[in-house]
Amino acid sequence: MIATALPTIAQSLGESPLRLNVAITCYLLSLAVFIPISGWTADRFGARRVFSGAIVVFTLGSIGCGYADSLPALVAARIVQGIGGAMMVPVGRLVLLRTVPKSDLVRAMSYVSVPALIGPVMGPPLGGFIVTYASWRWIFFINIPIGILGIVLVNLLVSDLKETGRRPFDFGGFALTGIGLATLAFGFENVGRGALPPAAVMGLLGVGTTCTALYVRHASRVSHPIIDLALMKIPTYASATIGGFLFRMGLGALPFLLPMMLQVGFGLSALSSGLLTFASAAGAMTMKMTAARILRTLGFRTVLVGDAVISALFLFSYSLFRPDTPHLVIFIALLAGGFFRSLQMTSINTLSYADVPSAMLSRATSLTSMAQQLSQTAGVATGALLLQLVLTVRGGTSLTAVDFYPAFMGVAMISLASVPFFLKMSPDAGAEVSGRAVAR
Q: What is the pLDDT of residues 61-118, one digit of tens each?
A: 999 999 999 989 999 999 999 999 988 888 888 888 888 887 788 888 877 777 766 7
Give me the pLDDT at residue 438, please. Answer: 47
6 shares a domain with 34: yes
198 shares a domain with 129: no
Give me the pLDDT at residue 432, please. Answer: 81
Whether residue 324 is contained in a domain is answered as yes
Give me the pLDDT at residue 344, please. Answer: 92
Give me the pLDDT at residue 193, please. Answer: 62
Give me the pLDDT at residue 440, please. Answer: 45
Give this prediction's pTM: 0.81
Taking CA atoms, 25 is separated from 21, 177, 231, in Å, by 6, 17, 29
Domain count, the chain: 2
Whether residue 163 is contained in a domain is answered as no
271 shares a domain with 374: yes
List, in order, residues 6 or more apart from 435 with CB less than 8 Å away. 103, 106, 292, 295, 296
47 shares a domain with 16: yes
The CA radius of gyration of the chain, in Å to the nearest whole number, is 21
Helix (H, G, I), strand (E, B) or coil at 244: helix
Give me the pLDDT at residue 140, please. Answer: 94
306 shares a domain with 259: yes
Low-confidence residues of the chain: pLDDT under 50? 438-440
217 shares a domain with 128: no
pLDDT in tens, 376-422: 878 877 888 888 888 888 887 778 888 899 999 999 999 999 999 99
Q: The domain that contains 283 carries what CATH number? A: 1.20.1250.20
Of 181, 199, 225, the last residue of a domain is: 225
CB–CB of 307/368 below 8 Å?
Answer: no
208 shares a domain with 311: no
Domain housing 230: 2-158+226-439
Whether residue 165 is contained in a domain is answered as no
pLDDT in tens, 389-398: 888 888 877 7
Closest by CA to 285, choosing from 80, 24, 111, is: 111
Other CB atoms within 10 A of residue 39 CB: 28
407 shares a domain with 270: yes
Give me the pLDDT at residue 121, please. Answer: 66
Of 225, 241, 256, the last residue of a domain is: 225
191 shares a domain with 108: no
Give me the pLDDT at residue 392, please. Answer: 82
Of 185, 202, 225, the last residue of a domain is: 225
Other CB atoms within 10 A of residue 47 CB: 25
Whether residue 164 is contained in a domain is answered as no
Closest by CA to 351, choosing from 277, 266, 291, is: 291
Spell out the alpha helix ranges (H) of 261-326: 270-287, 291-298, 300-317
334 shares a domain with 264: yes
398 shares a domain with 298: yes
238 shares a domain with 215: no
